[in-house]
Structure 1
Amino acid sequence: MLDDTDRRLLRLLQSDPTLTAADLAERTALSAARCSRRLDRMQAAGVILGVEAVIDWAVLGYAVEVSLRVTLDKTQPRAFEAFIEAAREVPEVLEIQTFLGRVDVRLSVIARDMTQYQQIYRTRILTLPHIADIEALMQISRIKSDEMLPI
């Protein structure tokens, strides 16, 4: 599906998402029109989902990040769907992952400080439906956070 030129375009975009189609065309020896068509084709195929701004939450005053491992009461019909639907509504939940095994869901939650986290936890997290068990893991540091694929 992807040729060497497509992979080169993707590597360039991953390393610098602010590159324009003209910049990418110049770096890959393509015309701007051919480069745009390739990018459009990869977007239409779902290879390129979008371009995002990566924000450093700590710079904006969010000093606490907690990973919550949640086990759901699976005896309840639609427990997963109801939990995930409600968790999506909590603005401080940055990420929701589902798993097979003892832990069903992991939530990544941010807060400005422990006081705010405690309030979010008590009023927004513990009120989510179908929680059977929950374990909090306080993040101390992020060693690697890289979404670049080895293309």
Structure 2
Amino acid sequence: MIDIDATDRQILRMLSQDATQPASEIGRRLGLSQPAAWRRINRLQQAGAIAGRRLVLDKEALGFGVTVFLGIKLAARGRVGVEEFERAVSAIREVQLVEHVLGLFDYRLRVVARDLADFERVLRRRILTLPGVDTVEANVLLSEERLPGPL
């Protein structure tokens, strides 16, 4: 675990809002020199506090108007390997997120589709045919009130 001070937290907050900001801009806004800001960012990356940078696409602008959260319970009998299920579900391009969870379901998936008919196709042809799938529960996303942000 890395020691993070208030300046590091400000840097992380700024990068989480716009990861394309150069160290010079971050330094200027925080009253640091460009090299000092770069050293802090590099230290955070080397320590693993910054695991990567990600491009956020607008799903609706790209034609994906439906997001569905699926709860999936695997069959207990025969116990298909978890790795086999994870490998197969990760190959489905409409599946944006795979989470192994504790509770009523074994997995939670975030699936995007063009519309409900497209989602039904993905569900029937791709997800329900995955190895070990027993029970599936779907929840259609109506709106997002808060996007993931800084910790």
Same fold (TM over 0.5): yes
Tell whether the 8 Å contact from 2:80 to 2:131 is kept in structure 1 after alignment: no
Contact 2:64–2:114 (8 Å) recurs in 1:
yes
Q: Tell me how far apart the structure 1 counterparts of residues 125 and 52 of structure 2 sit (CA, whole Å).
A: 33
Q: Deviations over 1:16-74 (max 9, x none)?
A: 32211110111122221121111111111110112212111011111111111000124
Partner of 2:118: 116
Q: Deviations over 1:78-98 (max 9, x none)?
A: 532211111100000011111
- Which residue number corresponds to residue 92 of structure 2? 90
Equivalent residues of 2:80, 2:132 under 8 A apart = no
Moved more, 6-15 or 38-47: 6-15
In the alignment of these two chains, the number of paired residues is 149
Question: Secondary structure, in 3 states, of the residue corresponding to 1:50?
Answer: coil
Which residue does the alignment assign to 2:52?
A: 50
Gaps (5+ residues) in structure 2? Answer: none
State the TM-score, normalizing by the size of structure 1: 0.90
1:27-42 matches, within 5 Å, as 27-42=29-44
Q: Distance in 1 between matches of 2:18 and 2:66?
A: 28
1:76 deviates by 3.5
Structure 1 counterpart SS, 2:12: helix
CA RMSD of aligned residues (A): 1.5
Q: Determine the C-alpha separation between the residues in 2 that align with 1:139 and 1:35.
A: 39
TM-score, reference length from structure 2: 0.90
Kindly, what percent of the aligned residue pairs are identical?
36
Residue number in structure 1 paired with 2:130: 128
